[in-house]
Structure 1
């Protein structure tokens, strides 16, 4: 019996098989969960195609995390209770990345914050009527306690995401809802490829990560997500778990 046997999990952000979200959805199914995917607009078709590559069929519901109507309709679209949410949504305009930090207009910063940070609160609160006691919410970050090259305002948005997760943990804890983050090392996902200069991380991780690091392997991050969704972390909330080969713990 898998560690998510009998649970129902909403997974956002599945657009390619190379994504952490897809790995989490696949592993969740392998561990016994029923998985519901969300997407919106033109991406719905892409997500529906990718959903067919999971071990089991997965329903795809419409959810634009910046659309109040979609958020209000989320409990009805879920069609029942859920035991967990995987938040794998992030976006920043091109003029907010790649070394242009000092020149980025607020409109682009606001967009990055809304999609990448505030959406964690939006989706979690929208799904609140459907969350079972003991439910787990797990988001994805790239350790924002330091400044990274090229990451710019996405780094700031991730810092906001990390703070948001702690406040959600504080306010939803009395309802038995756990909120945690997984900080993965750099992975060659579609999102990473859109960041100018992201290749700069490759040599750093290969040289310094104590356990080594494979930038094409999303399974370690997916496993961490599944573990945090399970009942094996019943008293863990407001936490950020590093899945980066141990690089965060090393010095120069």
Structure 2
């Protein structure tokens, strides 16, 4: 029996540790038959080491999503490893310290602009950079944290995530005629390196565990990774511009 992603060629960004959503997505994708290429930024040797922990060691290409030269050359560099792309995972986000932890009224525009560029605008940048390798049936999936509410300490990153959600809808409109879907997967709080960098992250955990009707384990990344792989597959052929919840149902509950 073939896997859900048999024969698919995927580019997955944001692998920093083997606890990251991106790493688990890459692992599940390989188990389901996909060929995976990873991107890394900054600590390339670390990403390359993590890549060797996958079921099949994956090639790593360098990508700073704010670097125009690297974006312009991305298709050619990825093309050294695969002859096209069927899916792209955007698992990138960053906000300077001033933008998190309760300083919403004080964060300077320069820092806010960085958060929006890296966390939202880069979805467009990455998708456009990959277009030469993609065709009908392609799927772009971004990682989200539901930005329809204000969260404690999340501050300007929450604003950036709201911008990411809007960007995904406009990108879905633009890429739909090319047969390419664009969706987000909104995960509940997980104990990843990215989450631990958010001051007050622990405030998210207990309410989620108490109110999510399916329950929630902040240490279990696998359900979210499976959701991402599902959206990358051919089984969501007419789903685009959507935010797919992988949060145990928390988003649907009141007090």
| TM-score, L = length of structure 2 | 0.97
Equivalent residue number for residue 214 of structure 2: 211
Equivalent residue number for residue 128 of structure 1: 131
Measure the CA separation in 2 of the matches of 1:91 and 1:167.
22
Equivalent residue number for residue 245 of structure 1: 248
> What is the aligned length?
251
Q: State the Cα distance separating 1:192 from its structure 2 match.
A: 0.5
Equivalent residue number for residue 192 of structure 1: 195
Say which SS state the counterpart of residue 137 (structure 1) adopts: strand
Give runs of aligned pairs for residues 107-146 of structure 1, distance below 5 A: 107-146=110-149
* CA distances 1:102-154 after superposition (whole Å, capped 9, x unpaired): 11000110000010000000010011111131100000111001111110000
* CA distances 1:207-228 after superposition (whole Å, capped 9, x unpaired): 1110110000111110010000
Measure the CA separation in 2 of the matches of 1:213 and 1:163.
27
Equivalent residue number for residue 23 of structure 2: 22
Q: State the Cα distance separating 1:57 from its structure 2 match.
A: 1.5
Q: State the Cα distance separating 1:40 from its structure 2 match.
A: 2.5
Give runs of aligned pairs for residues 2-41 of structure 1, distance below 5 A: 2-41=3-42
Equivalent residue number for residue 49 of structure 1: 49
Say which SS state the counterpart of residue 103 (structure 1) adopts: coil
- Where does the alignment leave 5 or more consecutive residues of structure 2 unmatched? none
Q: State the Cα distance separating 1:44 from its structure 2 match.
A: 1.0
Measure the CA separation in 1 of the matches of 2:3 and 2:206.
37
Say which SS state the counterpart of residue 86 (structure 2) adopts: strand
1:100 aligns with 2:103: yes
Equivalent residue number for residue 75 of structure 1: 75
Say which SS state the counterpart of residue 138 (structure 2) adopts: strand
Equivalent residue number for residue 63 of structure 2: 63
Q: State the Cα distance separating 1:201 from its structure 2 match.
A: 0.6
